[in-house]
Amino acid sequence: MEILGELAALATSVTFAVNSAFFTVAGRRVGSVIVNRVRLIFAFLFLILAHTLFLGSPLPLDAGWDRWLWLGLSGIVGLVLGDAFLFQAFVWVGPRISMLMMSLAPIIASFVAWIFLGEALHLLQIMGILLTIGGLVWVILENNHHRNLENRDYLKGILFGLGGATGQAVGLVLAKNGMGGTFSPLSGNLIRMASATILMWLITFGQKRGMSTLKAVFENRKAFQYIVSGAFVGPFLGVSFSLLALQHADVGVASTLMALPPIFLLPVSYFYFEEKFGWGAVGGTILALSGVAVLFLV
């Protein structure tokens, strides 16, 4: 059954690549803030459906308050703050560069865990980190993008991609405190999503932007379709595939295969978004993901 887990891990990468492309298109139509607000609602609903199908209940009400606290904080940091940066990066630099920047998340998480949780970093893991950073620098400075270094949106997109990776990394470290024992990852993800959705919409209504957000989405049917599709493909299909992968494949192999969205986004960016890049971008992407593989497989 190991091959099933590996295929599920690859499917996870494909779904998250498609998911990022959908949110990029929607964000360029109605703005990243609106996309983040609306996709949280649908992602929450799809996760409730997944939780009911796989675990027999719509919500993990038997989880202790400490799990809700840590996973709730994780959702706020990762899904509200981190994804706010990521979704704006989608708009400015597209899904390919944005998702490649997200490959820094496990590296940042490793450093945070090293500092605050005392988790050691081995020499090979440090080499993997250096490979990933080197690959990212190669992609960012790749010849076809030299002109972009004078483009303020490109520079801001890189920084916002870094912000997205940092938010996800800190969110993962916080989640670790709430995921002890045999607690279901699907339940943990649902708690994170519920906390993020509630806070995001409390802020939205507090700013009196609830109706304007819904109006903007419903008036742009294409954006609405992309948001709903992205919420279904990512949190529902992607999370389901990732759980199947972790159940049937080695964690290191599964994690490495699930880190491949930037590879799948190369043809999507080239043909659909008409983004021009050279072989340096391909080489840098492969180098960066090789570093991620080293980090997970050591």
- How much is the pLDDT for 85? 96
8 Å CB contact between 289 and 259: yes
Residue-level pLDDT, tens digit, the chain, 298 residues: 678 888 999 999 999 999 999 999 999 999 999 999 999 999 999 999 989 998 999 999 888 899 999 999 999 999 999 999 999 999 999 999 999 999 898 888 888 878 877 777 788 888 888 999 998 988 887 744 545 555 778 889 999 999 999 998 998 888 888 887 788 888 998 999 999 999 999 999 999 999 999 999 999 999 999 999 999 998 888 888 887 887 788 877 888 888 899 999 999 998 999 888 888 889 999 999 998 888 887 6
210-219 and 221-231 helices cross at what angle (nearest 10)?
100
Q: Report pTM.
A: 0.90
Residue 248 confidence (pLDDT): 81
Q: What is the pLDDT of residue 148?
A: 53
Per-residue confidence (pLDDT) for residue 72, from 0 to 100: 95
Q: Hey, what are 287's tokens? A: 């180098």
Classify residue 12 as exposed, middle or buried by CB count within 10 Å of its CB (0-12, 13-18, 19+).
buried
pLDDT, position 160: 96
Q: Which of 280, 247, 261, 171 is nearest to 6 (CA)?
A: 247
Residue written as token pair 């709903």: 228
CA dihedral 214, 216, 218, 224 (to 10 degrees): -100
pLDDT score at 243: 75
Q: State residue 1's pLDDT score.
A: 66
Handedness of CA 131, 133, 134, 139 (dihedral sign): positive
As to burial, measured by CB atoms within 10 angstroms (0-12 exposed, 13-18 middle, 19+ buried), residue 107 is: buried
Token pair 């008036």 in the structure block, residue: 219
* Cα dist from 138 to 144, 165, 241, 287, 294, whole Å: 11, 18, 31, 9, 18
